[in-house]
Structure 1
Amino acid sequence: MTTTTTPATLNPAIVGQAEKHHAAILNRALAGTTLDEHQWIVLNQALAAAEPVERAAYTARIAAMTQWNPADVVTALDALLAGGLLATTPDGLVEPTETGTTLAGRIRAESGAIVAAAYGAVAPEDLAVAARVLATVTARMAQELARA
Structure 2
Amino acid sequence: MTTTTPPVNGQVIGLAHYASRALLEVALARAGCNFNQSVALRAVSDNGGTVERSWLVGRLTGALKIEEAAARETVAGMTALKLLEETGAEQVSLTERGRELFEEIRTAGNEIAARLYAGVPAEDLAVAGRVLTLVTERADAELAEV
Deviations 1:57-112 (A, max 9, x none): 22112211221111111111111100011111144411111111111111222232
Match of 1:112 among 110, 113, 125: 110
Cα 1:126/1:48, change in 2 over 3 Å: same
Residue of structure 2 in register with 1:93 after alignment: 91
Deviates more, 1:52-61 or 1:80-89: 52-61
Residue of structure 2 in register with 1:29 after alignment: 27
Deviations 1:23-64 (A, max 9, x none): 112111112333211111112211111141111122112211
Give every structure 1 segment of 4 or more consecutive aligned residues whose post-TM-superposition deviation is greater than 2 Å.
Answer: none
TM-score, normalization: structure 2?
0.89
In 2, the alpha carbon distance for the partners of 1:32 and 1:143 equals 36
In 1, the alpha carbon distance for the partners of 2:88 and 2:70 equals 25
In 1, the alpha carbon distance for the partners of 2:49 and 2:105 equals 21
Q: Alignment RMSD, CA only?
A: 1.7
TM-score, normalization: structure 1?
0.88
Return the letter of the residue paired with 2:135: V
Does the CA-based 8 Å contact 1:39-1:80 persist in structure 2? yes
Q: Gaps spanning 5+ residues in structure 1: where?
A: 1-6
Aligned-residue sequence identity (percent) comes to 32
Q: Gaps spanning 5+ residues in structure 2: where?
A: none
Match of 1:60 among 58, 62, 71: 58
